[in-house]
Amino acid sequence: MKILVAVKRVIDYNVKARVKADNSDVDLTNVKMAINPFCEIAVEEAVRLKEKGVASEIVAVSIGPKACQEQIRTALALGADRGIQIETEASPNSLSVAKLLKAVVDEEKPDLVLLGKQSIDSDNNQTGQMLAALAGYPQGTFASEVNVEDGSAKVTREIDGGLQTVELKLPAIVTTDLRLNEPRYASLPNIMKAKRKPLAVKTPAELGVEISSTLTTVKVEPPAERQGGIKVGSVEELVEKLKNEAKVI
């Protein structure tokens, strides 16, 4: 069984993002980058399935400039067997990413595709669903538990009302949520081994996909500074302030 895992290069979640002086975009100068946390959970789940003997091969794929090979190598150090980079300097939107991943799926023919439910930079939560629609595969989103056996995957999903379990016939698409697992740290020997694992570089043109975006960034602004709270001396004073100052009651 082959698993394809998509990983995205984003600003490390521990780093506070800065906005460029002209408000055109986020400033990435000398900023630490990392695998998107939800994608890291997807890699961990794929590795656990391989350790259980369910999967035989894990392929990590990322879309972006040459720098994103760093994140592919991280996935290889965590347990993926080989990597694929789709090299582009553009910032493709969710649909373009889904089309590129669909082309890779057509070539690799994986039994299971794992993606993070969303990336922490754009927060679109669209790519997995779009990929499932393009590929015609069943999908299980927001997965908090995944069990694969007998050619199907049982996925426990986190929904507004609690949990929902769906059974998907493989091949299928699964997007991972926070409570699915806790990713491991890559050991130094595995980091060294990752440097020798195969990493293929392709272009959108080679995959027959034209990248185009219908979205234009107009302006990027940092969030407004939060004001400090105040202490009140009594319940009556609290109610008075909520009613007359905050006007929420």
Per-residue pLDDT tens digits for 15-51: 998 999 999 889 988 999 999 999 999 999 999 999 9
Can you tell me the distance from the alpha carbon of 31 to that of 150, in angstroms, rounded to the nearest whole number? 45
Token pair 């910032």 in the structure block, residue: 91
The pTM assigned to this predicted structure is 0.87
* CA–CA gap between residue 114 and residue 45 (Å, rounded): 8
Q: What is the pLDDT of residue 40?
A: 97
Greater confidence (122 vs 164) lies with: 164
Count Cα neighbours of 100 within 13 Å in the Cβ-side half-sphere. Answer: 27
Looking at residue 59, its pLDDT comes to 98
CB 3 within 8 A of CB 56: no
Residues with Cβ within 8 Å of 148's Cβ and at least 6 positions away in sequence, in order, are 1, 49, 54, 112, 154, 170
Predicted pLDDT at 213: 74
Query: Do the beta carbons of residue 141 and residue 201 sit within 8 Å?
Result: no
Closest CA to 80 of 40, 111, 43, 113: 43
147 Cβ neighbours under 8 A, 6+ residues apart: 153, 154
Peptide bond into 171 cis (omega under 30): yes
Write out pLDDT tens, residues 185-242.
999 999 999 999 999 999 999 999 998 777 888 999 988 888 888 899 999 999 999 9
Report the 10 Å Cβ neighbour count for 62.
Answer: 26
Residue 228 confidence (pLDDT): 83
Return the axis-axis angle of helices 127-135 and 94-108, rounded to nearest 10°: 50
Select the CATH number that applies to the domain covering 2-244 from these four: 3.40.50.10800, 3.40.50.12140, 3.40.1360.10, 3.40.50.620: 3.40.50.620
C-beta atoms surrounding 162 within 10 Å: 7
Angle at 14 between CA 77 and CA 189, to 5 degrees: 20
Q: How confident is the model at residue 122 (pLDDT cuts 50, 70, 90)?
A: confident
Q: Residue 126: pLDDT above 90? A: yes
The string of pLDDT tens digits covering residues 134-171 is 999 999 999 999 999 999 999 999 999 899 999 999 99
111 or 225, higher pLDDT: 111
Which residue in the block uniquely carries the two structure tokens 């879309």? 63
Q: Sketch the domain layout of the chain as residue ranges.
A: 2-244
> Which residues is 64 bridged to in the sheet?
87
Give dist(CA 218, CA 238) in Å, integer. Answer: 41
Task: Answer for the pair 38, 122: CB distance below 8 angstroms, yes or no.
Answer: no
pLDDT value of position 37: 96
